[in-house]
Amino acid sequence: MCKGKAQNRIDYIVLQKPSEAAKIVEKYGYEAPGKVDDLVKSVKLLVKKKGEPVIKELINIHPEKKLILEVSGHKSNEDSYCGCHSAYSGETKELLDKLSELSVDDLTKLYDDTKKQSKDNPEDKTMMAQVETVWDEIKRRKKQTEKIEKKQENGLWLKVAVGVIVGIVIGKALS
């Protein structure tokens, strides 16, 4: 991987600001690798292990942070704004808490209603964020349901297989 050929945001940040990225790795008690490719891998691993605090630190060293904030209309150096057009806010967190109590059918109805409201008020960024949040929750739930159904299906096949084997064993024992 060479400079300018970043594959994702983490690659881009680390490739543009390797010394700052190395400081983040060292801050968490690890030795920063000398090779940039290895540093990228280390930062990604650190993000997986530590999560949001590391992501916030990466956002703070993003090479185009000021430009992103200016273009998006943010005048200040806001800690919660990453420049990725995410509208995650406290309101969205409250919405997520409420969504966890709804069924998939209720989520789908809420999604349709919220989407309609969003189309009626296209300037309302909070409403757009809610549409995205509800949609993400629906997708997450459907994946979760698919996994459960697949496990149940696998369990059923296992029971059938065990039943056939037991039948064969009993049949041979009786003959």
pLDDT digits (tens, 9 = 90+) for 107-155: 888 888 888 888 888 887 777 878 888 888 888 878 877 777 777 787 8
Structure tokens given for 79: 């800690």
Q: Examine the pLDDT at 88 and tell me if it is beyond 80.
A: no
- Going 78 to 79 to 82 to 87, the CA torsion angle's sign is negative
pLDDT single digits (tens) 150-160: 777 878 888 88
Higher pLDDT residue, 145 or 43? 43
Residue 14 tokens, joined: 């680390």
Grade residue 172 by pLDDT with cuts at 50, 70 and 90. confident
Residue 98: what pLDDT?
A: 74
Q: What is the pLDDT at residue 155?
A: 80
Q: Which of 40, 41, 47, 38 is nearest to 13 (CA)?
A: 40
Of the candidates 92, 86, 135, the residue with the CA atom closest to the CA atom of residue 113: 135
The span from the CA of 32 to the CA of 35, in Å, is: 9
> With 90 as the cut, is the pLDDT of residue 39 above it?
yes
Radius of gyration of the chain from Cα atoms?
A: 25
Better pLDDT: 125 or 90: 125
* 28 or 140: which leads in pLDDT: 28
At which residue do the structure tokens 């995410």 appear?
86
Angle between helices 18-27 and 36-50 (to 10 degrees): 40
- Per the document, the length of the chain is 175
Res. 89: pLDDT tops 50: no
- Residue 165 has what pLDDT? 92
Higher pLDDT, 1 or 74: 74
Q: What pLDDT shows up at residue 74?
A: 63
